[in-house]
């Protein structure tokens, strides 16, 4: 069955989907994106993802390509045309097509592209049951990582370095503290059971999964503290996990050459993942 993509008003075979060579996304990474999860036809945290899409666009003075409701319809259409009840939906909006010039052209029509790929929650659960290892990398990204920009070269370099040594993610370090990972937010749990994650700022992407995980932690009566933390604190942590739309709540069992806790997924992390799934299903 052929994959279908959405490109600027049309549903087209994935292999034939294309945008112009002077799309500013291609030349300047002048665009933003979202990745949303849908499981058995139910969207997880969709309101949050669409709100962040709007925020990223506003920060770059790019117009929403269509109303939020229309975006929801297109997302559902493209998912259904691909016959995928469970999927990751990729939405990309760029400033549009114009002769190359650094200055933002006025009145451009934004380009909107959507693709979907299958998502298997059982496979994700199996991965979470084992946990993943991560490596540390310097955070060399730009100073506005709160904008979900398509300019992901530094993220891609860090994740590639991780994959070269068989690790699942790269833990990014800037000015002596952990910011986040190449495509997920990072959390540790200290010896007193306190969950610690970097606060919202221009240094991290404020994850939608991170927000829901915070709400789940509150329901479980866990303490969450939002502050920068160091690699030494990571080494001393009893548990560690990552959050993102694609990994949900993913236990980390090792960083570089050292183990986190006893080197297996921690009990609080497991409870949080289960609570997250239950909450998403109940919405």
List strand residue ranges (DSSP E) for the chain, in order: 4-7, 10-13, 31-39, 42-44, 87-94, 111-118, 132-138, 169-174, 177-181, 185-189, 195-197, 224-226, 239-244, 248-255, 258-259
Contact segment (CB under 6 A) with ligand PDD among 62-70, 73-81, 204-212, 217-225 equals 204-212
Q: Which CB atom, from 34 or from 98, has the smaller least distance to ligand PDD?
A: 34
- Does 245 interact with ligand PDD (rule: CB under 6 A)? yes
Q: Smallest gap, in angstroms, from Cβ of residue 146 to ligand PDD?
A: 10
- Does 29 interact with ligand PDD (rule: CB under 6 A)? no
List alpha helices for 60-117, DSSP H.
Answer: 68-81
Interacting positions 32-91 with ligand PDD (CB under 6 A)? 35
Q: Which CB atom, from 32 or from 260, has the smaller least distance to ligand PDD?
A: 32
Q: Site map for ligand PDD, 147-166, x if CB under 6 A?
A: --------x-----------
Q: Smallest gap, in angstroms, from Cβ of residue 92 to ligand PDD?
A: 11
Q: For the beta carbon of residue 71, count every other beta carbon within 10 angstroms.
A: 22
CA distance 62 to 48: 19
Q: Of 45, 49, 25, 19, which Cα lies nearest the Cα of 35?
A: 49
| β-bridge mates for residue 169, sequence order | 134
The answer to whether residues 204 and 244 touch, using CB atoms and an 8 Å cutoff, is no
Q: Which CB atom, from 49 or from 95, has the smaller least distance to ligand PDD?
A: 49
Q: Please give the positions annotated as active site.
A: 148
Binding-site ranges for ligand PDD (CB under 6 A)? 35, 155, 180, 183-185, 205, 207-210, 243-246
């Amino acid at each position: 069955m052929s994959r279908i993509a959405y490109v600027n008003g049309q549903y087209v075979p994935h292999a034939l989907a294309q945008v112009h060579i002077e799309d500013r996304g291609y030349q300047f990474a002048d665009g933003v994106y979202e990745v949303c999860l849908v499981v058995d036809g139910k969207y997880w945290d969709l309101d949050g993802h669409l709100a962040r899409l709007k925020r990223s666009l506003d920060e770059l003075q790019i117009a929403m390509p269509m109303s939020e409701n229309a975006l929801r319809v297109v997302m559902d259409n493209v998912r259904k045309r691909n016959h995928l009840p469970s999927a990751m939906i990729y939405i990309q909006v760029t400033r549009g097509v114009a002769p190359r010039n650094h200055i933002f052209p006025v009145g451009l029509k934004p380009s909107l592209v959507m693709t979907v790929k299958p998502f298997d929650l059982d496979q994700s659960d199996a991965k979470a049951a084992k946990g993943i290892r991560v490596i540390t990398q310097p955070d060399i990204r730009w100073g506005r990582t709160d904008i979900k920009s398509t300019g992901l070269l530094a993220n891609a370099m860090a994740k590639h370095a991780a994959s070269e040594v068989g690790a699942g993610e790269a833990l990014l370090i800037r000015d002596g503290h952990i910011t986040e990972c190449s495509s997920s937010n990072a959390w540790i749990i200290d010896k007193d059971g306190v969950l610690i994650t970097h606060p919202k700022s221009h240094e991290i992407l404020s994850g939608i999964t991170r927000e829901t995980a915070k709400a789940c932690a509150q329901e479980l009566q866990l303490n969450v503290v939002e502050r920068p933390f160091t690699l030494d604190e990571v080494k001393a942590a009893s548990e560690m996990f990552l959050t993102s739309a694609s990994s949900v709540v993913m236990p980390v069992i090792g960083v570089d050459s050292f183990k986190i806790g006893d080197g297996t997924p921690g009990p609080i992390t497991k409870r949080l993942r289960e609570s997250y799934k239950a909450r998403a299903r109940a919405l």
